[in-house]
Amino acid sequence: MSMLYDVPGPRARRRVLISSLVGLAVLALLLLVAGQRLADNGQFAYELYEPFLTEPQVYERLADGLRNTLTAAAYALVLASLLGVLLAFGRLSSKPWVRLPATVVVEVFRGLPLLLVIFAIFLAFPLAFGIELSALQALVLGLTLYNGAVIAEIVRAGVLAIPRGQTEAAMAVGLGRGQVLRLVLLPQAVRIMLPSLVSQLVVLLKDTSLGFIIGFSELLRTGGELVQVLDNPIQMYVAVALVYIVLNGSLSLLASYLEGRQRRTGGTVVPAMQIETGMGQAGAPV
């Protein structure tokens, strides 16, 4: 029960019951209108669903697409984590000539649309370095730069959330700054930032779908190609959406489980919401 209202008495219970029925009726009406609209346009015709039931090829193609999506996400996750830790260490450094460039990289890549970054990599790499990138490489690199910048902020917030005493004790026994960070702070910060990292993985997985724009055959693009043949856009894209929802939904559940466990044991967590989006926000994570 929310704190916004009392435990309901008989009159309030009746009111809630009536509102519930009205609410249900309105929701049912909305669904009915949508269903009617779909039916009027023949969207429940068996042919539109038949390929999912009778064509094993549809599943093979979609599975290939899903495999490509997961491949891109896996590469990007590993590389972005490495880059993120590196950038976070850079921002936490005591030397201004390390801190400054790291800060600029983080702020710039967090502030740019990922699509622009991917386009830029795709176009600029051949020009600047004479290297032609495959669509997968451009996508992974773009995802790495953007998510690396975000993960850097998560790691930094995690490290800063560790009590000062840890640093002081580690320095007192003679560890250097780098050693303190690597051996004492980072291992403890992992617990704090794990929920946010898993939430960020959801963002990363969703962003792999941008691969369709540069011609990478991930799940969404594969769905689009199948629509060309099967001519069932609504059914196909809903099916694709369901795959994403199941994948990301499980990850979101894992994230909130981890966060709940962390809070139960009295630990702090990095608030995911503020970090995962946008730059230079007022409530900057510290």
Partner 1 sequence: MDAVLSNLDVFVRGFTTTVTLTLAAVVGALVLGTVIAAMRVSPVPPLRWAGATYVQLVRNTPLTVVFFLVVFGLPEVDITLSFFVSAVLALSLYTAAFVAEAVRSGVSSVATGQAEASRAVGMTFGQTLRLVVLPQAFANIVPPLASVFIALLKNTSIASAFFVFEGVQSMNQLINANGDAVLAILAAAAVAYLGLALLASALFGLLERAVTVSR
| Interface with partner 1 (CB under 8 A) | 2-6, 8, 12, 16, 19-20, 23-24, 27, 37-38, 40-41, 43, 108, 111-116, 119-120, 123-124, 127-128, 202, 206-207, 209-210, 212-213, 220, 223-224, 227, 233-234, 237-238, 240-241, 244-245, 247-249, 252, 273-274, 276-283
Q: How far is the CB of 238 from partner 1 (least distance, A)?
A: 7
Q: How far is the CB of 180 from partner 1 (least distance, A)?
A: 31
Contact between 105 and 149 under an 8 Å Cβ cutoff? The reply is yes
Contacts of 99 (CB under 8 A, 6+ apart): 90, 91, 92, 93
User: 84 vs 223, which CB is nearer to partner 1?
Assistant: 223
Residue showing tokens 């630990």: 267
User: 190 vs 253, which CB is nearer to partner 1?
Assistant: 253
Q: How far is the CB of 231 from partner 1 (least distance, A)?
A: 9
Cα-flanking dihedrals φ and ψ of residue 162, to 5°?
-80, 135
DSSP string, 135-166: HHHHHHHHHHHHHHHHHHHHHHHHHHTS-HHH
User: 74 vs 190, which CB is nearer to partner 1?
Assistant: 74
Residue type, 177: R
Q: How far is the CB of 154 from partner 1 (least distance, A)?
A: 14
Instruction: Dig out the tokens for 74 from the structure.
Output: 């896996």
User: 28 vs 63, which CB is nearer to partner 1?
Assistant: 28
Q: How far is the CB of 155 from partner 1 (least distance, A)?
A: 18
Q: Which of 170, 171, 158, 176 is nearest to 267 (CA)?
A: 158
